[in-house]
Chains A and B, each alone.
Chain A
Amino acid sequence: MKKTIRMSKEIIRLFIKKDFQQAKIKLKRLFVGVKFTDGILYNILVYALLLSFGYVYLYPILYMVTNSFMTMEDIIDPGIKWIPSTFNIENYRLVFVQLNYFKSLLDAFYLAAFPAISATVSSAIIGYGFARYDFPFKKILFALMLMTFIVPPQITMLPMFRMFSRYQLLGSIKAFVFPAILGQGLNGALFILIFYQFFRMIPKALDESAQLDGATPFKVFTRIYLPLAIPSIVIVFLFSFVWYYNETYLSGLYLRGSDLLSLPLKLDQYISNYTSIYPEGSRARELMQAVKLAGNVMTLLPLLIIYFFTQKQFVESIDRTGITGE
């Protein structure tokens, strides 16, 4: 920035001195730069693209937040698009009371946290086994592990639904914890891969000395490797938590008709109950849009708060997953 200002001052001085030859060269230098990537034109292009992409990414969130504050009149009024005429928190109050927000949130956290913890523990153990030891058929098993990522849930969902109903696991959190604890939770393969890459990076000499001191393999794992893997543990837990929190497809099936519902599902249920009371096209239905958006904002709010505190872990995560080659 300072450089640009200095250069423009110099150019203006050259113009005043009527040294057009020099000014032209300097002007070109200013806009195009020495190697194009350091000129003003290039920078304008980069920031314009960033801003427009940023707008596209933030648009739905802005839309959701502003519209959730609108009253019925604001929604119907075509003149009001972004800024509500009054700061109206009635929609939020409605959702808060109707959804029994704190209890629902607690339920949702319970539903997301336990499977996420089990998935983290199991994938750490499994990833360690794959990374540190050689055993027959290791490559085949590893390939099978990666393949589970591609298999769509529809294929396994059906028999699992029957299995769970036979052992009376439907409608309880066990339907999510059991697969997670055996390394088959949501995106389990990805998490195992993250730990696999991490444990492979640590030099083997570290545990050899511990083994000489008589530590069992499991002790080597828990005392030496796990403390080193804390960044990976945090990443895996966060991802797993977010994915379980947002999960609606499987939980809609396994938790059907039980009191225990994830927050997105509960909101869905409440909205559909509420809308069916009012006839199509009535004004109350129009208002429901704003209420729905308020509900969505409140569903996402905990995640957004978590994200803003931990965004560094999220953003740096891919470096550690090792899917970037090697």
Chain B
Amino acid sequence: MVDKLKNILEKMKLVLEKVKYALTHNFVFRKTALYWIFFSFLKVKITNKRRQSIIGLSFILLWIVGYLIFALYPMFYSLYLSFFKVRLDGASIQMTFEGINNFKAAFLYDPYFVQILVGYILEIVINVPITIVFALIIALLINQPIKGKGIWRTIFFLPVIIISGPVIQELMNQGATTLPSIREYEIIRLVLNNINPTLATPLQSLFDTILLVLWFAGIQILIFLAGLQKIDREVYEASMVDGAGPWASFWKITLPSIKPLIVVSIIYTVVSMSVFSLNEVIIYIRNVMLGESTVGTLTTGYGYSAALSWLYFIVMVVIILIFVGLMSIRKRSRL
């Protein structure tokens, strides 16, 4: 049995060598020691650099093909669709050109989209800084010389495993993400009842969502932790000799050294919150696409949902740019 297989492999090898030879020594393409000759007259000198780049590109080829098929083509196709009204009749699709009507409809006729989008923007603007601050605090805490480091890390990284749509949805429905016990504390109730209602309402909603927000901080905690551990201990020692306390050294050493990581974390947080499967905008877009929420004739179907996704993407990129811009402005004025 084994001998037979070996025999076959041996024969295959001979055939493959012939094929290889035929592929590199024919009229269209010929390979010599120094040149690649196409059609007998196009000579390309193979330098080491060229060979390296060809090998590199062939490693990347997989990605290039995937990018064209699964990223670039769908992006352009959905952009193209967003200017049409698309109707599916069985297997065939009917498309009527609408110009920018789809985009107009999103703002003028759609009773839900703008409302949901504004809600999303507010949520992101409030939640992202909170997530970052809490992630930083937790990372700083774990970075202290504490007992049971491994256990704490395990706990704080748990959400990355658990955060999945249906489970979170379930916990949200049952009120398990609102931490009822926080509001039961006398002090917090006292504070909430006695301050100005304009201040109390956001505070209250903060308590309601804090758990969910903290649960988004898993990866960011690790990013910060890795950054904190890379800061040279000697810098802290030198600053202590100069009389800097822990407070000063946090603002003057720790924060500036992990600033790039804050930008990374912001981008990560915005993206993960925006593509989270319970995000209202995302759910709405899918419902529009599947025709489950129909408002009027224009505001439904593939074309309209493509327009909505592009609007959503643009809003997301703008939010990221604003956050990153704010971070870099502060850096310049401090220096």
* A133-B55, A242-B161 as given contacts; A154 in contact with B260, CB under 8 Å: no
Contact of B158 among A133, A151, A307 (CB under 8 A): A307
Contact A37 B246 (CB under 8 A): yes
Contact A129 B59 (CB under 8 A): yes
9-residue interface stretch from B24-32, B60-68, B99-107, B108-116: B60-68
User: Digit string of A43-56 for contact with B (CB within 8 Å is 1, else 0)?
Assistant: 00011011001101
Q: How far is the CA of A135 from the CA of B174 in the complex (A)?
A: 54
State whether the Cβ of B36 lies closer than 8 Å to any Cβ in chain A.
no
Q: How far is the CA of A208 from the CA of B286 in the complex (A)?
A: 52
Chain A neighbourhood of B320, CB < 8 A: 150
Contact of B53 among A133, A145, A159 (CB under 8 A): A133
* A155-B75, A300-B162 as given contacts; A59 in contact with B211, CB under 8 Å: yes
State whether the Cβ of A206 lies closer than 8 Å to any Cβ in chain B.
no
Chain A neighbourhood of B154, CB < 8 A: 307-308, 311, 315
Contact B171 A60 (CB under 8 A): yes
* A154-B285, A159-B78, A300-B167 as given contacts; A314 in contact with B59, CB under 8 Å: no
Q: How far is the CA of A56 from the CA of B138 in the complex (A)?
A: 12
Interchain nearest-CB distance for B120 vs A (Å) = 12
Chain B neighbourhood of A49, CB < 8 A: 137, 141
Nearest-neighbor residue (CB-CB) of B61 within chain A: A129
9-residue interface stretch from B6-14, B123-131, B189-197, B271-279: B271-279
Q: How far is the CA of A36 from the CA of B244 in the complex (A)?
A: 11
Chain B neighbourhood of A311, CB < 8 A: 150, 153-154, 157
Contact of A159 among B73, B179, B310, B316 (CB under 8 A): B73
Contact B275 A60 (CB under 8 A): no
State whether the Cβ of B294 lies closer than 8 Å to any Cβ in chain A.
no
State whether the Cβ of A78 lies closer than 8 Å to any Cβ in chain B.
no
Contact A179 B226 (CB under 8 A): no
Within 8 A of A (CB), among B161-181: 161-167, 170-171, 174, 176-177, 179
9-residue interface stretch from B37-45, B198-206, B301-309: B301-309
| Residue count of chain A within 8 Å CB distance of chain B | 88
Q: How far is the CA of A184 from the CA of B70 in the complex (A)?
A: 7
Contact B75 A324 (CB under 8 A): no
State whether the Cβ of B15 lies closer than 8 Å to any Cβ in chain A.
no
State whether the Cβ of B97 lies closer than 8 Å to any Cβ in chain A.
no
Chain B neighbourhood of A136, CB < 8 A: 53
Contact B63 A183 (CB under 8 A): yes
Say whether chain B's binding surface is mostly helix, strand, loop, or mixed: helix
Q: How far is the CA of A307 from the CA of B162 in the complex (A)?
A: 10
State whether the Cβ of B266 lies closer than 8 Å to any Cβ in chain A.
no
State whether the Cβ of B83 lies closer than 8 Å to any Cβ in chain A.
no
9-residue interface stretch from A8-16, A23-31, A89-97, A120-128: A120-128
State whether the Cβ of A248 lies closer than 8 Å to any Cβ in chain B.
yes
| Residue count of chain B within 8 Å CB distance of chain A | 92
Contact B264 A145 (CB under 8 A): no
State whether the Cβ of A280 lies closer than 8 Å to any Cβ in chain B.
no
Contact B59 A60 (CB under 8 A): no
Contact B141 A325 (CB under 8 A): no
Within 8 A of A (CB), among B56-102: 56-60, 62-67, 69-71, 73-75, 77-78, 81
Chain A neighbourhood of B230, CB < 8 A: 324-325
User: Digit string of B252-274 for contact with A (CB within 8 Å is 1, else 0)?
Assistant: 00000000110010010001001
Contact A315 B316 (CB under 8 A): no
Most B-side CB within 10 Å, residue of A58, A315, A324: A324
Contact A184 B71 (CB under 8 A): yes
Nearest-neighbor residue (CB-CB) of A192 within chain B: B63
Q: How far is the CA of A159 from the CA of B172 in the complex (A)?
A: 32
Q: How far is the CA of A268 from the CA of B134 in the complex (A)?
A: 32
Chain B neighbourhood of A172, CB < 8 A: none
Contact of B240 among A35, A221, A317 (CB under 8 A): A35
Chain B neighbourhood of A54, CB < 8 A: 152, 155-156
Most B-side CB within 10 Å, residue of A56, A138, A149: A56
Contact B62 A122 (CB under 8 A): yes
Chain B neighbourhood of A248, CB < 8 A: 164-166, 277
* A57-B156, A133-B52, A303-B162 as given contacts; A159 in contact with B66, CB under 8 Å: no
Contact A60 B211 (CB under 8 A): yes
Interchain nearest-CB distance for B57 vs A (Å) = 5
Chain A neighbourhood of B163, CB < 8 A: 246
Interchain nearest-CB distance for A226 vs B (Å) = 13
Contact B176 A57 (CB under 8 A): no
Contact A151 B313 (CB under 8 A): yes
State whether the Cβ of B146 lies closer than 8 Å to any Cβ in chain A.
yes
Chain A neighbourhood of B134, CB < 8 A: 53
Q: How far is the CA of A308 from the CA of B162 in the complex (A)?
A: 13
User: Digit string of A39-75 for contact with B (CB within 8 Å is 1, else 0)?
Assistant: 0000000110110011011111101100100000000
Q: How far is the CA of A132 from the CA of B57 in the complex (A)?
A: 11
Contact A325 B66 (CB under 8 A): no
Contact of B62 among A63, A126, A221 (CB under 8 A): A126
Q: Can you name 7 extra interface pairs (CB under 8 A) apart from A46-B141, A148-B71? A: A133-B52, A152-B312, A154-B285, A156-B74, A296-B170, A304-B161, A315-B150
B contact residues vs A (CB 8 Å cutoff): 49, 52-60, 62-67, 69-71, 73-75, 77-78, 81, 134, 137-138, 141-142, 144, 146, 150, 152-167, 170-171, 174, 176-177, 179, 210-211, 214-215, 219, 222-223, 225-227, 230, 240, 245-246, 260-261, 264, 267, 271, 274-275, 277, 282, 285-286, 289, 302, 305-306, 308-310, 312-313, 316-317, 320
Could you show 20 A-B contacts with beta carbons less than 8 Å apart?
A35-B245, A53-B156, A56-B211, A57-B155, A61-B162, A63-B176, A135-B57, A150-B267, A155-B313, A156-B74, A156-B75, A159-B73, A163-B74, A182-B66, A264-B164, A264-B166, A265-B166, A293-B174, A314-B161, A325-B230
Q: Which 5 interchain pairs have the tightest Cβ spacing?
A: A133-B56, A182-B66, A129-B59, A246-B164, A135-B53
